[in-house]
């Protein structure tokens, strides 16, 4: 990876965007076009890269960055940055962004899924009840570029297939008018998870629940229900999302209590836990799998909503395969037993 390539990329984008008065609505197209046009090295040479990143004259890297297993800021402008991201175990939950820009796959491949949300009920700024519709599930290969539109402009998930997968993202620093960033939990929840991560009451209750679970404390159910009754429904969802593993067998009692407190909204807690368990099961096998075919199939299980969508994705991944239906059935039969019900449900939906 040559840093001068990214400097040239950044200077080009800065000039073009500045000439357009830094209009944020134009930035995704500017960034995507620039990423598509330039020749970028797909190799990551750690020796010169770490020497540069740790040099005292280099601006400090953000070791706590939330994107990628390794995130490197290779260019900074007043209103945007360029980051190179390395993914070893990357699976992104369905989410929106509080920034805009574009990304490009430098090496490896990823499954990329986009969604449309239809509002059912606006519970508060922190939670919306929605219908989640799958728009597109596609295979991204080296050189592919996609724009990132802030807020509701892009709701997506990405499953990185190869170890490592290398990507570059050009992104604005922040666009607060796109907040809050929603984390989408099918079939019906759009939760401001990033904002709720900063909520002290929900965070402290989660710590208490985990601690009591580890202690096998007999009062866990009573304490949890009493404190959840004091929270609004978005924060209840956040606690369940972060602690559902520790809540475990206490969940039926919790949901019964939430029905008394929040009425019909409590039904969404059952759907929430089912979706969390499905996603976490698939992610756990993704971490342990070193088989590219199995990782691809795990991505398909995560994002495809029908057997037809699965076969279209398989046709893109295996273009030489004439009978993708038989191939999918064969790969599905080799899945670990815990994943077979998910495959059966997917394969049966046409």
Of the pLDDT bands very low, low, confident and very high (cuts 50, 70, 90), residue 39 is: confident
Pair 188, 244 in one domain = no
- The CB-side HSE value for 17 (13 A sphere, CA atoms) comes to 29
Residue 267 lies in a domain: no
pLDDT confidence of residue 116: 97
Q: Which residues pair with 260 in a beta bridge?
A: none
Q: Calculate mean pLDDT across residues 126-150.
A: 96
* CB contact at 8 A, 142 and 107: yes
Of the pLDDT bands very low, low, confident and very high (cuts 50, 70, 90), residue 60 is: confident
Nearest-angstrom CA–CA distance, 246 and 210: 6
Pair 186, 206 in one domain = no
* CB contact at 8 A, 115 and 189: no
* End position of a domain, from candidates 260, 295, 314: 260
* CB contact at 8 A, 237 and 273: no
Question: What would the pLDDT profile of 307-340 be if each residue is shown by its tens digit?
Answer: 889 999 999 999 998 888 888 888 888 888 888 8
3-state secondary structure of 218: coil
Cβ count near 134 (within 10 Å): 16
Nearest-angstrom CA–CA distance, 191 and 182: 5
pLDDT confidence of residue 1: 53
Nearest-angstrom CA–CA distance, 214 and 104: 43
* End position of a domain, from candidates 173, 192, 211: 192
Q: Calculate mean pLDDT across residues 20-35.
A: 97
Domain count, the chain: 3
Residue 265 lies in a domain: no
* End position of a domain, from candidates 162, 192, 222: 192
Give the residue from 104, 133, 101, 86 showing the smallest Cα distance to 39. 104
pLDDT confidence of residue 105: 93
Token reading at 10: 């950044």
Q: Calculate mean pLDDT across residues 252-281.
A: 95
Pair 105, 58 in one domain = yes
Of the pLDDT bands very low, low, confident and very high (cuts 50, 70, 90), residue 42 is: low
Phi (first) and psi of residue 85, to 5 degrees: -120, 130
3-state secondary structure of 121: strand
Residue 207 lies in a domain: yes
**Contacts (Cβ under 8 Å, ≥6 apart) of 123:** 129, 233, 234, 265
Pair 104, 163 in one domain = yes
Q: Which residue segment(s) compose the domain that 32 sits in?
A: 3-192
pLDDT confidence of residue 277: 93
* CB contact at 8 A, 195 and 95: no
- Does position 65 have pLDDT exceeding 60, yes or no? no
- Does position 55 have pLDDT exceeding 50, yes or no? yes
Pair 139, 69 in one domain = yes
Nearest-angstrom CA–CA distance, 166 and 177: 30
Pair 18, 108 in one domain = yes
Question: What would the pLDDT profile of 141-198 be if each residue is shown by its tens digit?
Answer: 999 999 999 999 999 999 999 888 889 999 999 899 998 999 999 999 999 998 999 9
Nearest-angstrom CA–CA distance, 116 and 150: 14
Q: Calculate mean pLDDT across residues 88-115.
A: 91
**Which residue has tokens 């991204």?**
140
Pair 152, 29 in one domain = yes
3-state secondary structure of 90: coil
Pair 229, 111 in one domain = no
Q: Calculate mean pLDDT across residues 254-277.
A: 96
pLDDT confidence of residue 173: 92
pLDDT confidence of residue 336: 83
Highest mean pLDDT among 31-45, 76-90, 135-149, 274-288: 135-149
- Does position 348 have pLDDT exceeding 80, yes or no? no
Pair 165, 56 in one domain = yes
- N-term to C-term CA, the chain: 44
* CB contact at 8 A, 93 and 76: no
pLDDT confidence of residue 63: 47
- The CB-side HSE value for 58 (13 A sphere, CA atoms) comes to 16
Give the residue from 303, 50, 334, 33 showing the smallest Cα distance to 161. 303
Pair 144, 253 in one domain = no
């Amino acid at each position: 990876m040559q840093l001068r390539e990214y400097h040239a990329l950044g200077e080009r984008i800065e000039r073009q965007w500045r000439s357009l008065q830094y209009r944020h609505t134009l930035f995704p197209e500017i960034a995507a076009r620039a990423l598509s046009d330039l020749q970028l090295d797909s190799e990551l040479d750690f020796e010169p890269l770490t020497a540069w990143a740790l040099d005292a004259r280099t601006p400090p890297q953000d070791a706590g960055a939330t994107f990628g297993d390794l995130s490197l800021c290779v260019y900074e402008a007043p209103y945007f940055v360029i980051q190179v991201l390395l993914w070893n175990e990357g699976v992104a939950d369905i989410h929106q962004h509080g920034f805009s820009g574009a990304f490009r796959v430098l090496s490896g491949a990823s499954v990329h899924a986009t969604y449309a949300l239809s509002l059912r009920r606006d519970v508060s700024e922190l939670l919306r009840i929605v219908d989640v519709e799958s728009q597109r599930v596609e295979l991204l290969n080296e050189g592919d570029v996609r724009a990132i539109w802030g807020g509701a402009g892009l709701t997506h998930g990405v499953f990185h297939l190869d170890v490592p997968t290398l990507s570059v993202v050009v992104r604005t620093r922040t666009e607060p008018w796109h907040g809050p960033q929603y984390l989408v939990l099918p079939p019906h929840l759009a939760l401001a998870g990033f904002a709720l991560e900063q909520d002290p009451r929900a965070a402290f209750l989660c710590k208490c629940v985990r601690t009591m679970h580890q202690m096998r404390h007999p009062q866990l159910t009573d304490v949890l229900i009493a404190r959840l009754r004091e929270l609004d429904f978005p924060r209840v969802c956040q606690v369940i999302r972060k602690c559902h593993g520790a809540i475990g067998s206490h969940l039926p009692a919790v949901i019964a209590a939430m029905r008394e407190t929040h009425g019909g909204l409590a039904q969404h807690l059952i759907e929430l836990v089912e979706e969390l368990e499905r996603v976490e099961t698939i992610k756990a096998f993704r971490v342990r799998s070193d088989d590219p075919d199995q990782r691809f199939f795990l991505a398909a299980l995560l994002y495809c909503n029908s057997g037809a969508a699965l076969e279209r994705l398989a046709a893109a991944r295996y273009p030489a395969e004439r009978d993708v239906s038989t191939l999918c059935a064969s790969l599905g039969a080799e899945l670990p037993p815990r994943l077979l019900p998910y495959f059966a449900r997917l394969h049966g939906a046409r």
